[in-house]
Amino acid sequence: MIYLTLYVMISYMKNKGFKNQLAERIRTTRNNLGYSQEEIAKKMGFHRPTLSQIEHGEREVSAEDLTKLAMIFGVTIKDLIGDNKSPPPEKENKPRSETDIVVTFLRHGEAIDDVYDQYGGWADPEMSPRGINKAFQIVSNLKNNGVNFEIIYCSPLKRARQLAEVIGRELRTDVKVMQYLKERNTYGLLSGINKSIAKKRFPELVDAYETGKYVLGSERENDFLNRIPLIFDYIRQQKYKNICCVTHGKVLTAIIKKILGMTPSDLAEGCMLRIGVEANGYYFIQSEGIVFTK
């Protein structure tokens, strides 16, 4: 499969149209993840102008460089070349009915546990400087698009609350905590521990996590999935029609799969999902920074 992927990739690279498409995907993926050209160029061993040429289709990308870019971005080669992706459903700009509720879900940016390579889950670190910078980028995008909210709900964890508070302050909107938006506690007792340290001190817990077994103190998958509909039960009980919910990656993934019946392959930091909530159902409206598979 790896050799087939490389064969397809190299074949595509000879096509000028694909070259421009690849340049756009690299540039968009980098921006969605909140990296500067300088940061990625340094990781690649380039000077910044070299990466700029790649992102504008002015320079060839070798198979080795593309593989390295995919690893840095945390995606697959096929994600970058677009070989297995279909576009998300057609965008709808407004609710189908005046009684529908529009909910905008936002994922927080990078947190300190990412910087120090710690297990997340219910660990409660603050956002990193890069995550805070992403928060202001999100607010800027909301303002530029004329978006406002009647209320902002957020997870009780600091990294989500910080983003919610930045948005609330800038848009002058009240922020309230909703427990159902809390991240899944996948890691149990490992939460907040550096991964290398955990492997040495608690190998049995790490082994349980890596082999898909129950990790002591973690939230079982069925319990987690059963609380996802409670988000919408809560929302329907309120008086608001235009709502923002600031949450986490696993919650967003579960909403996309369980509520919308779609399959995401990548969720960037700070990504957005907007859906309509009807009396007896849901529908996709818009997304940014989320890649869907067929």
Q: Which domains, from first to last, does the chain contain?
A: 2-81 (1.10.260.40), 101-184+219-292 (3.40.50.1240)
Q: Which range has the worst mean pLDDT, 62-76, 172-186, 208-222, 248-262? A: 62-76
pLDDT above 80: residue 19: no
pLDDT at 14 over 70: no
Assign residue 279 a region (left: φ > 0; alpha: ψ between -120 and 50; beta: otherwise): alpha
What residues have CB less than 8 Å from 102, skipping those under 6 apart?
A: 95, 241, 242, 243, 274, 275, 276, 277, 285
Active-site hit among 108, 110, 248, 269:
108
- Average pLDDT for 56-82: 79
Mean pLDDT is lowest, of 65-74, 166-175, 189-198, for 65-74
Annotated active-site residue 47? The verdict is no
- What pLDDT sits at residue 226? 96
Mean pLDDT within 14-33: 73
pLDDT tens track for 105-160: 999 999 999 999 999 999 999 999 999 999 999 999 898 888 889 999 999 999 99
Where is average pLDDT lowest: 1-5, 41-45, 199-203?
A: 1-5
Q: Full-prediction pTM beyond 0.75?
A: no
- 250 by Cβ neighbours in 10 Å (0-12 / 13-18 / 19+) ranks as buried
Phi-psi category of residue 120: left, alpha or beta, with phi > 0 → left and psi -120 to 50 → alpha: alpha
Query: What is the pLDDT averaged over residues 14-23?
Result: 65
Query: Which of 78-92, 227-241, 254-268 comes out lowest in average pLDDT?
Result: 78-92
pLDDT above 70: residue 3: no
Whether 183 is catalytic is yes
Nearest to 6 by CA among 57, 69, 63: 63
For residues 173-177, average pLDDT? 97
Q: Which of 53-62, 122-131, 169-178, 198-207 has the lowest mean pLDDT?
A: 53-62
Q: Which of 55, 183, 219, 269 is catalytic?
A: 183
